Structure 1
């Protein structure tokens, strides 16, 4: 059955990554193996690769990531991050809260790979804590995704509401509790940070002012994207340009800085992920999953949830996964899909996308902190299982 080929390739990918094989070769190799198993011709294979590298979405993503690397380097080199964290630490008086707030703040920007933006902030804030590289990765990755359950700027919510024919406001009302639940489920890791009396100042106005001044480059990007609907690449590019001018970079100095900041390995890794997704589309490898699950004698909502989880696991993109699963669910239910089922499938699909190296935020975060992917995935099991269990229980109660 075609579905087994896709599942076998993904299982092999996970085994290799579990054995600490390099990410980029594994993903590119999996793309080749998938093409062979689904008998994609050499011409079609090369055409698919050409489509990947010329796809505007891929090009834009690579540009955004490159600009984020430049911005992160500038903010670190000129002391913005250090000054902001010092002030924010005194303002919040709680290191645990600080570590959760930083990735959540950057998570307001619905951009692919945005975890790379918050990773250096988390690294700075956790520099003198007992957190391991894996725990830092967990905090950065887990708390970044709180808003995707309730922020209407995320395509996943827009796609779900449109495909299911339900008002967006009603969908958000039903999913907001899960954003709050995610915030609570990450607390056990945050509790690893000892409660220490931080040095504080009573002049909160000056502290807040200092935070705003030093976070202004990041805040400018967030506001441009959220309020002015500016493209991510344009917003980050504009802020980078302003910083280069403010700190009087000559073209030669800017070129030297870019050579220090840009991580070519990361850009190639992202290209590999986009290529793998394109191969999945070209081979229509996901189509067989629906038929496979329909043949199993298990409750309907479990079938839909399992299908959603697998699609999320394989694609690693929440919005893309919602675009695959919900047309199937709507068709299978005769167009009469109720909110409890929508929410459960949404959570199940989201959960799958959180467990895969195909998810750019996970890959980039683990790469940034030089963490062990296996340990990070283990840390995700309990909170994500709790989230999915609660969603299933609520479905059974309110269906």
Structure 2
């Protein structure tokens, strides 16, 4: 029973450290060490767990993928290639649709607080249509994150799939109904009320829009068609981006250096170390005995959502809750991953600590309370779907 106390203590310490702006990778490692101490780990036990973590193929592969996604995202921004897609989307779609398409396009760039990049881009269109600051904020946040439910290069989806040892696409297939519900909700709440004037702009080119996204498309094709891992595919994608933009070796080295994120690398290693400690400690068996009779739905839907809500970090929620709850789940791994991903994602969307939400509402100059009046009912739709799905499956 003493070992079990380490889990809530670790959670509290992790939450406190993250709230104090401590790097969340280090926070998770500290949480893992606390669990190990409560489980009476020796120094040798900790060292063995650390060695197992860094030697694990999943750890190495996942860390490489997350680092390369960061480099690709930064390089997209610096070369300006994403602007090709954005300009064509402006011409291809009407004013209303472009307010959803532009944030979604920027959403493919894995940059913390990246909603601040798309906010100025949609502002002229939104102003022309007479939208309120709260309405602009809703559109920018909602549609920026909707695509992350089915985007194969989303760090959150890759991590979720990796932690339960299934393919990214098996999780995406289970998330697709949620994606459709989110798009429909966003349309009804955000786009339908807008009255747009007739368009007089020249037509855009879908081929040019796809060309702007070619490095990402190549990564996905290499993975689906040729079964080449994301890590290798991302290297090809980055090189293709450099070639398309005639980037010099010096400029490329600078982009790689700037796009490299030690914080994300440590976060992934920390999450995998946490998982290793959980597995080696045997604390999951104690948790199963303690929670016998507790509705599984409460754990699967509630825990990841609460962690995301209090931290504003979906990756942290996924990394902590998956290792704890996966052994307790009677569901197939892809379904388990989809349900917990949705729980973590909805808590992240609604969190007052969500960086994208904070930056966007500050940019458009509106209060969080007024944004929530439109935003929270939309999040509630996704939560209700997840609860009903979990109840049906269990």
* Shorter-normalised TM range: 0.5 to 0.7
In the TM superposition, residue 392 of structure 1 has moved relative to its aligned partner by 4.4
Deviation at 1:387, TM superposition (A): 3.3
Match of 1:127 in 2: 120
- Unpaired segments ≥5 residues, structure 1: 107-114, 163-167, 297-302, 331-336
Contact 1:80 1:214 in 2 (8 A): yes
Q: Is the 8 A contact 2:31 2:274 kept in 1?
A: yes
* Aligned with 2:100 (options 91, 97, 101): 97
> What's the CA shift string for 1:154-195, capped at 9, x where partnerless?
8979999x9xxxxx9xx96x8754332233345688569987
1:116 to 106, 110, 121: 110
**1:306 counterpart residue number:** 298
* Structure 2 residue matching 1:69: 3-state secondary structure: helix
Give the whole-Å Cα distance in 2 for the aligned partners of 1:254 and 1:398. 49
Cα distance in 1 for partners of 2:198, 2:111 equals 26
Q: Which moved more, 1:54-63 or 1:378-387?
A: 378-387
Q: Which residue of 1 aligns with 2:57?
A: 56
* Structure-2 change in CA distance of 1:195 and 1:99 (3 Å): farther
**Whole-Å separation in 1 of the counterparts to 2:279 and 2:218:** 36
Q: TM-score, normalised by structure 2?
A: 0.67
Q: Distance in 2 between matches of 1:9 and 1:15?
A: 10
Cα 1:317–1:4 change in 2 (3 A) is: same
TM-score with structure 1 setting the length: 0.67
1:350 lines up with 2:353 in the alignment: no
Task: Report which stretch shifted further, 45-54 or 241-250.
Answer: 241-250
Aligned-partner Cα distance in 1 for 2:246–2:203: 33
- The alignment covers a number of residue pairs equal to 350
Q: In the alignment, is the contact (CA less than 8 A) between 1:71 and 1:236 conserved in 2? A: yes
Q: Whole-Å Cα distance in 1 between the matches of residues 49 and 393 of structure 2?
A: 45
TM alignment of 1:1-399, pairs within 5 A:
1=1, 2-93=3-94, 94-99=97-102, 101-102=104-105, 116=110, 124-128=117-121, 129=123, 139-146=143-150, 177-186=177-186, 201-204=201-204, 207-296=205-294, 303-309=295-301, 312=304, 316-317=317-318, 321=322, 328=328, 330=330, 348-354=339-345, 366=355, 383=378, 385-393=380-388
Deviation of 1:211 after TM superposition, in Å, equals 0.9
1:200 is displaced (CA, Å) by 5.7
Deviation at 1:43, TM superposition (A): 1.2
Question: 1 CA distance for matches of 2:385 and 2:61?
Answer: 37
SS in structure 1 of the partner of residue 237 of structure 2: helix
What is the DSSP-based 3-state SS (H/G/I as helix, E as strand, rest coil) of the residue aligned with 2:283?
A: coil
Q: Within 1, Cα distance between the matches of 2:393 and 2:31?
A: 41
Separation in 2, partners of 1:3, 1:31: 13
Q: Please provide the CA RMSD for this pair.
A: 4.9
Structure 2 stretches lacking a partner, 5+ long: 124-132, 308-315, 362-367
1:111 matched residue in structure 2: none
Structure 1 residues 242, 83: CA separation in 2 closer, same or farther (over 3 Å shift)? Answer: closer
Deviations along 1:362-387, one digit per CA (max 9) or x if unpaired, are 9xx95999799xx8xx9797555443
Q: Which whole-Å CA distance do the structure 1 matches of 2:318 and 2:80 have between them?
A: 34
Match of 1:127, SS? helix
Could you tell me whether the CA contact under 8 Å between 2:62 and 2:159 is conserved in 1? no
8 A Cα contact 1:116 1:368, kept in partner:
no
Contact 2:343 2:383 in 1 (8 A): no
Say if 1:196 and 1:386 are closer, same or farther in 2 by CA, change over 3 A: closer
